[in-house]
Amino acid sequence: MHEWLDEQRYNSLSEHFKDYPSYIIAEIGSNWKNRIEPKNDLHSCLMSIDYAKAHGANAVKFQLFNHEEMYGKTGSDEFALPRDYIPRLAEFCKKVNIDFMCSAFSVEGFEFIDRFVKIHKVASSKVGDGDLLKFIKKSKKPFIISDGMFDVPISNKVIPMLCASAYPATLTDYNLYKMHQYCSAPLGYGLSDHTRGFTLAEILRAHGCRYFEKHVNFLGRRDTPDACVSIDANQFGLYVKTIRNIKVGRPRIVKSDARKMWGDRYDAKIKRYVRPKK
């Protein structure tokens, strides 16, 4: 009867969650902006890409928007990335061997950046845009879509990403139950990490999360909209190492290893495993 206690008990998480290699995105956001010396903005973007590559990121991500696209009303475009930067940033990413990504906030913006990216990222605020959904259906490229404001449908080219709209967010701002829904996504699922720590990323990586997006502030900007939720280069390097050192599907210990560690043996009289007396 004791044989019901087989390896399945210990490895069930491994079978439920897919062990994809992690893919970590350094989200630059608005932290490229040099308000003191605007003429150095492009150089700041290139430096941010260099830092992302040096600290282990798979991709670096910028944002393409104007004030009206982002907030629904006219206003200052001080933190809007100039469009003529896009080709140059994409080319530099290719040169240093890191993926270039850029979130757009209009269909026209996605059409513009389409030729520069391998994979699109859609912010949660745009999920309810009917025209954008039509663009997604017609495109042949995969889309990472944050679910902070809307539920994300699972398909063979949509990568759902757990997200919280708070900046910064706490672990309890995230609906962790969704990882059980998203683990069946063909391309895997992700985390848009707006927390200041690493705990949430550790939990989700152990439960099969593949894509991680973290806001970074490599240049020490203090007066940008994204500064409050961003980590510096050293913290990001540790974030990357932490994620890559976690085994998906914990606990991975198997019955035979457990007996070696703890000395458990099967007692035929009482018909169960027991630990030796100390």
**How does pLDDT run across 142-160, given as a tens digit for each residue?**
999 998 777 887 888 999 9
In this prediction the pTM is: 0.84
What digits encode the pLDDT tens for the residues 59-96?
999 999 877 777 777 778 888 899 999 999 999 999 99
Together in a domain, 172 and 237: yes
The number of domains in the chain is 2
Are 6 and 71 in the same domain? no
Which domain, by its residues, includes 276?
Answer: 1-17+249-278
Domain shared by 233 and 266, yes or no: no
Residues 194, 89 share a domain: yes
Instruction: List the one residue out of 225, 237, 220, 277 whose CA is nearest residue 71.
Output: 225
Same domain, 200 and 259: no
Q: Is the pLDDT of residue 131 over 80?
A: yes
Q: Is the pLDDT of residue 241 over 90?
A: yes
Task: Look at residues 214, 206, 208, 139 and name the one whose alpha carbon lies nearest to residue 169.
Answer: 214
Residue 238 has pLDDT above 80, yes or no: yes
pLDDT of residue 1: 41
Domain check: are 200 and 262 in the same one? no
C-alpha closest to that of 99 among 163, 154, 145, 142: 142
